[in-house]
Structure 1
């Protein structure tokens, strides 16, 4: 069984103009490969290469967007507990969302969308994840901070702004994000055959990159893709292994997102789901 994280260029103005990123882990959480597919068909092709023994793909993008405007119910739940949330509506895409094209291509290679893949069950599935929310959860888990309630700690947790801003701020945020990934149990980012050449089309060693303000914004965007895809792959691997805790907020047609979640966060999110009338598992 393989575990892939995909950070697609799904936002308006990105699709077809920026590369996506795909990271693949083995059953122990070890890095197998990463690459930068240019469109939905190439993403699906890269996934298919690793799907012979089954694959679970975490896609860092809104996959089910039924609302014409406004936000989905799951975004309201995440916002309640101070977790980063997408803002996605069909109106913002002015047509078919890129994620729908991606799901169609994945289905073509035998990978089906689901809102809740059973832990430990082999198959070919794709689920929605949220890398920014996952990163905030991991940062709190790694810090070991226990003072105050979890809601307060989430509210006060610093936001790593690596997507926008000046290069100094983006580089600093990316270095912190990479440090969190490096210290995350169950993730093995160092393997053979990797390169520190950021311009390489595949197998870039995230841990060896010199992330400095001297990099261009395009190069920083490439590192963002690696970080987000790694977080997505970790999220589905953690869920499938059934250790450390995970949760799915929402349901398929209305939108569902998988998150790493220990007991305290599970209880906090469950309360928000009940108040908003949103299903959860």
Structure 2
């Protein structure tokens, strides 16, 4: 038996870590957020049955004392124009000396060498980064702006989150069957009703972890489109192939920029109109834009 885990790992135990588990068929069976390594282990012990394949959004191999890893430079060269570059990782940062991901993998017996294929008697973990993976897999011209950054309102982030959820349901329905999962419906409800950053923060890491779990499932496929930038000696990041679209100047979320300008009230009218027509917010806006030419 093999199960697939996604971990959106925080730098330390004060912040939220998102966790998700897929069963042997790839169906989402559990997701949540925790804080401590002991809580992570409890989740893994409960849901990581048999051999596990784990995709972790956090540095696993950081041998360099300063600067950045070569894999981060390679990622920047391919995905930087899409706003999907990675932060520099080095051991001068206390939280990376050693990396929490490395400590966790050692504790749980996960092999972090990406040349070691998943198989019977082998549990493996890989380092992933959701933003560039989303750019390629969702065929975007820019990252989805759902993270909390200056200049983004709760309304604009909520719209970006909803586009992300729609894209995940479309791409990951096989095998995860998200539309039938009660917890996924609860996450969507939280995001749809969010009025403050704290409401989105409550589920952000969990959504990222669910996407990471999908990457873990992809990694175990023999025909996987995922590849390794870097290596186990100097550090690596597993990503899909390069972006298929040219980088765009506007937000990747249809209507995302105008959402900021029009404000919460008008956006709620858009959302209500979409529901009445049986469309997602993104589909309604796309139809409106098409009508405008």
How does the TM-score come out when normalised to structure 2?
Answer: 0.71
Secondary structure at the counterpart of residue 9 of structure 1:
coil
CA gap of 1:219–1:168, structure 2 versus 1, over 3 A, is same
Q: Aligned to 2:189, which of 203, 209, 215?
A: 209
1:160 alignment partner in structure 2? 144
1:101 alignment partner in structure 2? 100
Q: C-alpha separation between the residues in 2 aligned to 1:101 and 1:158?
A: 29
* Structure of higher CA gyration radius: 2
CA gap of 1:106–1:82, structure 2 versus 1, over 3 A, is closer
Aligned length in residues? 235
Deviations 1:199-218 (A, max 9, x none): xxxxx546642424743322
Deviations 1:38-81 (A, max 9, x none): 11222123113233311011100112222333321111111212
Q: C-alpha separation between the residues in 2 aligned to 1:54 and 1:251?
A: 23
Q: In the alignment, is the contact (CA less than 8 A) between 2:138 and 2:171 conserved in 1?
A: no
Q: C-alpha separation between the residues in 2 aligned to 1:99 and 1:206?
A: 36
Relative to its length, the structure with more helix (as a share) is 2
Q: C-alpha separation between the residues in 1 aligned to 2:62 and 2:92?
A: 11
Q: How far apart are residue 130 of structure 1 and its match?
A: 0.6
1:132 alignment partner in structure 2? 131
Q: Aligned to 1:180, which of 148, 167, 189?
A: 167
2:232 alignment partner in structure 1? 252
Is 2:78 aligned against 1:81? yes
2:122 alignment partner in structure 1? 123
Deviations 1:91-137 (A, max 9, x none): 663x2428733432342233332223415555212110111111111
Q: C-alpha separation between the residues in 1 aligned to 2:163 and 2:98?
A: 29
Q: C-alpha separation between the residues in 1 aligned to 2:114 and 2:39?
A: 23
- Alignment RMSD, CA only? 2.6
Q: In the alignment, is the contact (CA less than 8 A) between 2:59 and 2:99 conserved in 1?
A: no
Q: In the alignment, is the contact (CA less than 8 A) between 2:58 and 2:101 conserved in 1?
A: no
Q: Aligned to 1:54, which of 48, 51, 57?
A: 51
1:278 alignment partner in structure 2? none
Range 83-92 or range 219-228, more displaced: 83-92
Q: C-alpha separation between the residues in 1 aligned to 2:97 and 2:27?
A: 29
2:288 alignment partner in structure 1? none
1:272 alignment partner in structure 2? none
Q: In the alignment, is the contact (CA less than 8 A) between 2:131 and 2:143 conserved in 1?
A: no
Q: In the alignment, is the contact (CA less than 8 A) between 1:22 and 1:35 conserved in 2?
A: yes
Q: How far apart are residue 231 of structure 1 and its match?
A: 1.6
Range 168-177 or range 236-245, more displaced: 236-245
Q: Structure 1 segments of 4 or more deviating over 3 A?
A: 119-122, 204-208, 212-215
CA gap of 1:227–1:52, structure 2 versus 1, over 3 A, is closer
CA gap of 1:231–1:99, structure 2 versus 1, over 3 A, is farther
Q: Which runs of 5+ in 2 are unaligned?
A: 245-293
How does the TM-score come out when normalised to structure 1?
Answer: 0.74
